[in-house]
Structure 1
Amino acid sequence: MTQPGNRSAEGPKRPAAAKLIRTVVRGAAPAGPGIRRLVLMDPEGWPLPRQKPGAHIDLHLPNGMVRAYSLCGDPAQQDRYVVAVKREAAGRGGSLWLHDALAEGAEIGVSLPRCTFPLAPAATRHVFIAGGIGVTPFLGMAAALERAGGSYTLHLLHRGALPLPAQLPAGTALHDTSRTPRPALADLLGEPAPGLHAYCCGPNGLIEAFEAATRDWPPGRAHIEHFVPPPLAPDPEARPFTLVLAKSGASAELPAGAPLLPAIRALGEAVEVSCEGGICGACKVRWLEGPPLHRDRVLKPEERAEYLMACVAGCAGPRLVLDL
């Protein structure tokens, strides 16, 4: 997939390594069906960089894989990052390694926390819709809201045994869809009202139902986070274009629909990546000339005027210039 670039005879430079936080696994225990809860701490017990409610981190595995996981601990506990990993036998291998090979006492590098799924600061009431392991970002949100005296309702849709049962807030509304059909999300959400914001994290089918239920809500009141990148169909507006990296002057001619990340790497620049599906926010890059085609699920409309997500973005014009 890599596209050739115009570079000097010295060849492409080696991409810079991502800046990682060194952590040690201080706890690893089952936390529901096929779920492993990991507690990551500084090797010497120092505070870790602050996390916002709803944030996630990337775990950098020894084989080069990078996997994003929501932080599900109390954000006020600054000495640890807590993540929950669901074992995915048919996945890409990252969850299997984290279940089967990562032991307590082992070191693992993690990214700085990123928050693409924050609590709405203007909200006076929050309704959370979680599907299975999609409950993880809401656990930190709930802890922060309870400390601040905020108002929220958490609906957890699950099949059979509960995910992270020991961490679920008191009063969580449980909906076991192995016993009864999934409830209508419009009934769980209620009518849109001033100050009410709704949030959803879970499998794509649940998110699609949530988007349908909130289609007529005021803009900016419904928020989603995917934990699996949704499939991307070919964009009919895509066209061949010239990719230019402004700082180095390197360029490459790309066919319509060509991915940006391999081309950027071939031109000798590094972009941090994780999901490679437009849902985690790792590969955020400033664009200078375009217009780009935005196909991500994390950037706000105002952010898209300045940034793109390199893992899924394209170009709708003849030339795309990136601030790299």
Structure 2
Amino acid sequence: MSNTLKVTVIGKAIVGEDTVAFRLAGQDTALPACEAGAHIDVHLPSGLIRQYSLTRATEDNGRYEIGVLRDAGGRGGSVEICDTVRVGDTVEISPPRNNFGLHPSHGKSVLLAGGIGVTPLLSMARTLEARGAGYELRICARTPERAAFRCEIQDEAIAANIIYHYDEVDDPNPLDIAAFVGGLRSNDHLYACGPTGFLDAVQEAASRLPAGHFHQERFKANLAPLSAEDAGEFEVQLKGDGPVYPVAKECSILETLREQGVSVPQSCLEGVCGTCIVQVLDSGEIIHRDTSLYPDEQEQNSAIALCVSRGAPGSRIVLDL
């Protein structure tokens, strides 16, 4: 974990039903700057590594804030951090990474949050507010009590641009995702973050938007099973006429490289976080299965997520490793 940063937990607070916010400060120096939409890896005492979005761009004395939904039915990381990490504890984190940044826009930035997906969008809203740019933030939650950070942000300037929608209480303003997205202008940019079902609906509605105007960040990969046609063996080669390794149909590139002693950073293993993305120097067809690269990046075949994406059977991919 040589590339990690040691931070001190300087604040812990309940910011919604089953949602806990943690404030983090660097121990030796201010934490690295980051832009809206960034996330960090948090290395938990058990050895688990989980990704959490930052709720602010760097503007608060180099400190970070994350919001964690305690999910008892999840993979264990959220329960561990919410139940065991205390104020004063030392935690190791990665430097911030950003696969979900703001894009230049001649229209409005429309931010659409589902549940705890509000965290990176709060960062975006605060940045857009500071710039004086046009934006609106729609927050979808089951109930007001489950709307993370609702009380904490009610006195901020961004509150004037927020509209809430609730699923499990009488709501005079229910959100029709298809109609709402269908009403956006061609020069607007849409940003969405939330659970899989929510994002699937938004993505379908956003298919009418111009290319490059819909941006999303998913909590989990939405991987379809590989077809028999795509699941064949291919090869990867390291740069500079480096060694060539066959990748078996049941293995990922990441697994193959690690078996050969090639060290590659990894984290989520689901194609979501972007940790294992490397540049591609030459390739045939790439079967992109991640959600961390933008569609135009995937079309260019200039980078690949080693944990889930593959080469077409019989092809060779030259990696910048």
TM beyond 0.5: yes
SS of the residue 2:297 aligns to: helix
Structure 1: gaps (5+ residues): 1-16
Q: What is the match of residue 226 of structure 1?
A: 218
For residue 210 of structure 1, report the CA deviation from its aligned partner. Answer: 0.6
For residue 250 of structure 1, report the CA deviation from its aligned partner. Answer: 4.2
Provide the TM-score with structure 2 as the length reference: 0.89
2:106 and 2:231 map into 1 onto residues whose CA distance is 38
SS of the residue 1:272 aligns to: coil
Structure 2: gaps (5+ residues): none
Provide the TM-score with structure 1 as the length reference: 0.88
For residue 252 of structure 1, report the CA deviation from its aligned partner. Answer: 3.4
1:89-133 deviation digits (Å, cap 9, x = unpaired): 122211111011111111111111111111112343111110010
* Counterpart selection for 2:236 from 230, 243, 255: 243
1:36-95 deviation digits (Å, cap 9, x = unpaired): 100010124x32111101111111123322111110135322420100111111222111
SS of the residue 1:51 aligns to: coil
For residue 247 of structure 1, report the CA deviation from its aligned partner. Answer: 6.2
1:247-292 deviation digits (Å, cap 9, x = unpaired): 6944433322521221111111222222211121111112233333
2:16 and 2:36 map into 1 onto residues whose CA distance is 22
Q: What is the match of residue 170 of structure 1?
A: 159
* Counterpart selection for 1:303 from 290, 297, 309: 297
Note if contact 1:54-1:140 (Cα within 8 Å) is conserved in structure 2: yes
Q: What is the match of residue 249 of structure 2?
A: 256
Specify which structure has the bigger relative contact order, considering alpha-carbon pairs within 8 angstroms and separated by 6 or more residues: 1
1:106 matches 2:95: no
SS of the residue 1:116 aligns to: coil
Q: What is the match of residue 26 of structure 1?
A: 10
CA RMSD between the two structures: 2.0
SS of the residue 1:214 aligns to: helix
Q: What is the match of residue 66 of structure 1?
A: 49
Give matches, 1:96-175, under 5 Å. 96-160=79-143, 161=145, 162-165=147-150, 166-167=152-153, 169-171=158-160, 172-175=162-165
For residue 194 of structure 1, report the CA deviation from its aligned partner. Answer: 4.4
SS of the residue 2:225 aligns to: coil
Q: What is the match of residue 6 of structure 1?
A: none
2:39 and 2:70 map into 1 onto residues whose CA distance is 18
2:81 and 2:250 map into 1 onto residues whose CA distance is 34
Q: What is the match of residue 195 of structure 1?
A: 187
For residue 31 of structure 1, report the CA deviation from its aligned partner. Answer: 1.0
1:146 and 1:107 map into 2 onto residues whose CA distance is 33
1:74 and 1:284 map into 2 onto residues whose CA distance is 23
Give matches, 1:253-292, under 5 Å. 253-291=246-284, 292=286
Q: What is the match of residue 205 of structure 1?
A: 197
1:212-251 deviation digits (Å, cap 9, x = unpaired): 1111111111111101222332143232123333369444
Identity %: 34
For residue 190 of structure 1, report the CA deviation from its aligned partner. Answer: 5.0
